[in-house]
A = this chain, B = another copy of it.
Amino acid sequence: MVKVPDFPTSNSWYHHFVSYGETDTMGVLYYAEYLHIFERSRNVYIRERGMSYAEVEKRGIILPVREAQCRYRSPIQFDDEIFIHVGIQEWKRVSMKFIYEIWNKDKTILHATGMTEHASINPDGKPVRVPEWFKELFV
């Protein structure tokens, strides 16, 4: 059993089958594709709380990625069924940090861990306080 740090109480699981187009000549999920998968898990996380990131942007809040990091622990192959665990680890005044874990089908192998830090800006690109209605989605 893999030891992992405590995960945020509010979290979601995103379920995915690896496609051929996501793999590379080494026969494994290409390293940049993990960030696409992280994004999809964020979308599910927000969607499961009755919102969508498209709606967040319509309300005037944009959350561009300021930093991304991924630790690749064991390879993932074509057609593998994986489960992505996503949560928000930290809230700052004008930013927040999402964290991720990618597990195999029966959640015994931790394939990868990662994080993305997002700024909170308005459509003019100015940093703005993360709105309460957004934070409350994840309580």
Contacts and interface: CB of A to CB of B under 8 A. Distances in A.
Interface of A: 17, 19-21, 23-28, 30-33, 35-36, 39-40, 43, 47, 52-54, 62, 64-72, 75, 77-79, 116
Given A32-B32, A62-B26, A79-B52, A39 B21 contact: yes
A49 B27 CA distance: 24
Contacts of A53: 20, 78-79
Among all A-B residue pairs, the 6 with the closest Cβ atoms: A32-B35, A54-B79, A69-B69, A23-B25, A31-B65, A32-B32
Contact of A21 (B30, B70, B71, B75): B30
A69 B72 contact: no
Given A20-B25, A21-B36, A53-B20, A72 B66 contact: yes
B68 A70 contact: yes
Given A54-B79, A79-B53, A24 B20 contact: yes
Contacts of A35: 21, 31-32, 35
A120 B30 CA distance: 17
Contacts of A28: 64
A43 B68 contact: no
B75 A71 contact: no
A24 B24 contact: yes
Given A31-B35, A32-B32, A62-B26, A43 B69 contact: no
